[in-house]
Chain A
Amino acid sequence: MEKSIKWVVGAAVVVAIVVSGYFALRAPDEVSQKTIKIGVIAPMTGDLAFMGEGIRDAILIAKENLGNTKNKYEVIFEDDQLKAKMSASAANKLLSADNVDAFVTFSSVTGNVVAPIAEQNKVVHFGIASDPNVAKGKYNFIHWTPPSEENKVFIIELQRRGIRKLGILEGNAQGAAAVIADLKEQLEGTGIEIVADQAFNFGEKDFRTTIAKVKDSGAEIYLLMAFSPELEILTKQMKETGITTPITSIECFELSEQLSLFEGEWYVNSADPTADFASKFNSKTGKSPTLGAANAYDIFNLIVVANEKVEGTSKPTSDQVVNELMEITNFSGALGNLSVNEDGLVLSKAVIRMIKDGKPVSVGK
C-alpha cells in the first residue's frame, strides 16, 4: 500500500514538472502572437442552413490560405437561423463569453440587430446585407452589392426585354424593403409601371388570395422578393393557379435550394466570384459558391489586412482597425478589386443570371 502511494505521488510530481515546464517554455511565444477573435453569425440550421454553411466554408478557406501573420486569427461560428432574437443572443454570447474583436453577419435582419450592439461595444462589424442602415456608425461596414446598383442593372434588363408592366410580391424584411424602396425611386421616368405590389409576412404559407389579386393586373413579369421557404411556396402556388407570366428576382432565387422551380428565369444577382475563389470553394466543398460566400471570404481577409497593418506590439484596438479598413483601396478579393468608401461600404457590381439546368449561370454584364 505504502509503495503504491509513493508511486502515485512520484507520478504526480513528474506530471506537475512536465506541465509547468511546458507552459513556462511556451508562454513567451503565445504572448508575442496576439489572437484576434472573429465571431460569425449566420444560419447554420433551418431553411437557410446551406447559406450559412457556404459562409462558414468560405471563411475557413480564407483562414487556411492565410500566410504568415503577426497575429493569430480565431473564428467562432454562431447559428441564428436568421431569426432576430437568436441573432441578438448570439451576438451577446460572442461578446461576453468569447470576447470577439469583430463580428461578421449575414442578412439585413441579423445586420440590423448586431450593428447597434457592435457600435455600443466598439467592435468592428461587417454585414453581408442590402440594407444601408447596417453600415450606420463608426464600427459598422457592409460588403454587398448595394440595392441602387442591383436596381440599375435590373431596370436596364427590363428595358432591354421591352417589359413595361411589373408586378411585385415581397416578404416583409429589411433587405427586401430597402431594394424595393430604391427600385420605386429608380423606376420613375423610365416608363416602367408597377401594376401590382403585394406584401406578406414571414411564415405565411397561403398566398392564394394574394396571387388572385395580382393575377389580372396585366403584369408582364413578377418580381419575387422572399426567403426560403416562402419563396418556393409562393412560386409553387403561382404555378398551381395557372400563372405562366415570367418571374424574376433580385438575389432571392439563390436563397433557395430548389433552383429547378425557377428554371429558365432570369434575375439580378450580386457580383460573380473570381474563378480563383470559385475553384478553391469547389475543391473544398464540391459545390459552386453560395450567395454571400465570396463576400464572407473577402470580409475575413479585409479584417486580417486591417489588423496586420496596425503597427505596434500590443493588440490592435477597434479604432485602429477601423482606421486601417477605411484606408483600404483596390484590395484584390474574391469579388474583384474592392475599396472601402467613406460610408463603410465595400461595393461590388451586380450581374444578370438565369437558372439553366437547375444551376445559376451568368448571362451578361
Chain B
Amino acid sequence: MEMFPQLILNSIIAGAVYALVALGFNFIYGVQKFFNLAHGTMAAIGGYAAFYFAKILGLDTYVAIILGVALAGFVGFSLDKFIYLPLRRRKASNMVLLVASLGAMTALQAVIAILFSSRFKTLSGNVDTQKLFTILGGVITQTQLVILLSVALIMIGLVVLFCKTQFGKAIRAISDDEEVARIIGINTNKIIGYVFFIGSAITGFAGILVGFDVGIEPTMGLNLLLKGVIASIVGGVGNIYGGVLGAFLLGFVENFGIWKISGEWKDAIAFALLIVFLIFRPRGIMNK
C-alpha cells in the first residue's frame, strides 16, 4: 500500500461522507436560512431505521435502506410541519428556530438511545465479507466505493432537480426571496416541506452508508453535522456545489494534515480550517 495514493483515497472517502451531509444541510439552508441542528440526527434516524428493518425485522437490506431513507425524510418533513412551520407563521427569529432545532436534536437522540441503547452498532457483516479494491496502490472497500458513487449520483440528481424542473425553479425562487415567491403564487410552505423531506432523506442515506462503513450510535449525527457545517461554510453556505467542494477540501486537509503529525490533531485541523475561512473568506469559496 502506497502512502500517497492511500491518503488521496482516504481524503476522497471522508470528503464524500461530509459531502452527503453538507448537501442535505445546504439544501435546507438554501430555503430556510437557519442552522437546523436537528439535521445531523437524520443520519442517526436513517442508520437506526435501516438497522431495525434489516437486523431486527430481518427484511432485505435494500428494502431496509429504502425504508430508512424514507423514514429520515419523513421525520425531517414532520419537524418542519410541526415545529418550524408554526414558528415561521409566528414570525419567529432564526435564533428561535435554531433553539427549537437544538431541542428537537436532543429529544430525537434521547428517543434513539431509549429505543436502541447508546451502544455502538454496525450494519455490515463480518470484516471478511467486505470486497477490497486496489486503485493506484491504495485500498478501498466495497462500501466506500458505494459511498463515492452515491455522492456522484445524488449530486447529479440535485443539479437536474434544481435546473431542469419546476420544483427546482420554485426552490430557487424561495431561496432568493420567500415573500416574492409567495406573491407570484408559489406554495412556499409546501415546497419547503418537500425540501425538508429530500434534505433529510439524503442525510439519512449518509447515516446508513456510515453505518455500513463504520457503525452507528445515537450521537453520530452531531459529529457528522459539525463536519457538514464546516464543509458548508468553507464551500459557501446554502450553495449545494460549494458544500460538496468544501466537503472534499475538508477531507483532504484533515487527512493530509495528519500525514506528518499524530492523528489526534485531526479535529483541531478541521476547526482551524473553519476559523481561517470565517476570518478571511466568511462567505466561503463559492460566494452565492
Contact = CB atoms under 8 A, between A and B. Distances in A.
Contacts of A172: 264
A213 B3 contact: yes
Interface residues of A, number: 32
B117 A212 contact: no
B215 A205 contact: yes
A305 interface: no
Contacts of A228: 120
A199 B264 contact: yes
A242 B1 contact: yes
Contacts of A47: 118-120, 217
A207 B1 CA distance: 15
B214 A206 contact: yes
B6 interface: yes
Contact of A208 (B13, B117, B118, B119): B13
B119 A199 contact: no
A164 to B, nearest CB: 22
A193 to B, nearest CB: 19
A240 B6 CA distance: 13
B119 A46 contact: yes
A10 B175 CA distance: 76
Nearest to B255: A209
B234 to A, nearest CB: 18
A212 B3 contact: yes
B258 A201 contact: no
B127 A261 contact: yes
Contacts of B132: 240, 242
B7 A200 contact: no
Interface in A173-196: none
A243 to B, nearest CB: 9
A233 B3 contact: no
Interface in A33-51: 45-47, 49
Contacts of B6: 208-209, 212, 241
B61 interface: no
Contact of B1 (A198, A200, A239, A241): A241
B10 interface: yes
Given A81-B118, A228-B120, A209 B10 contact: yes
B264 A200 contact: yes
Contacts, number: 83
Interface string A215-238: 110000000000011001100100
Interface in B212-227: 214-215, 217, 223
Contacts of B120: 47, 228-229, 232
Contacts of B10: 206, 208-209, 212
A198 B215 contact: no
A201 B264 contact: yes
Contacts of B263: 198-201, 204, 207, 209-210, 213
A28 interface: no
A145 to B, nearest CB: 27
A205 B214 contact: yes
Nearest to B143: A240
Nearest to B124: A236
A210 B257 CA distance: 11
A233 B118 contact: no
A203 interface: yes
A206 B254 CA distance: 11
A170 to B, nearest CB: 9
Contact of B3 (A49, A201, A206, A216): A216
B163 interface: no
Interface string B115-159: 001111000000110101000000101000000000000000000
A180 to B, nearest CB: 13
Contacts of B128: 239
Contact of A201 (B127, B130, B266): B266
Contacts of A241: 1, 6, 139
B195 to A, nearest CB: 29
A46 B267 contact: no
Contacts of B1: 212, 215-216, 241-242
Nearest to A236: B127
12 contacts: A45-B117, A49-B119, A198-B262, A203-B223, A205-B214, A205-B215, A205-B223, A210-B263, A212-B3, A216-B3, A228-B120, A240-B141
Given A198-B262, A215-B1, 7 more contacts: A203-B223, A208-B6, A208-B10, A209-B255, A210-B263, A212-B7, A213-B3
Interface of B: 1, 3, 6-7, 10, 13-14, 117-120, 127-128, 130, 132, 139, 141, 214-215, 217, 223, 255, 258-259, 262-264, 266-267
Interface of A: 45-47, 49, 81, 172, 198-201, 203-210, 212-213, 215-216, 228-229, 232-233, 236, 239-242, 261
Complex A-B, nearest 8 residue pairs according to Cβ-Cβ distance, in ascending order: A229-B120, A210-B263, A212-B6, A208-B10, A200-B263, A239-B127, A209-B255, A205-B214
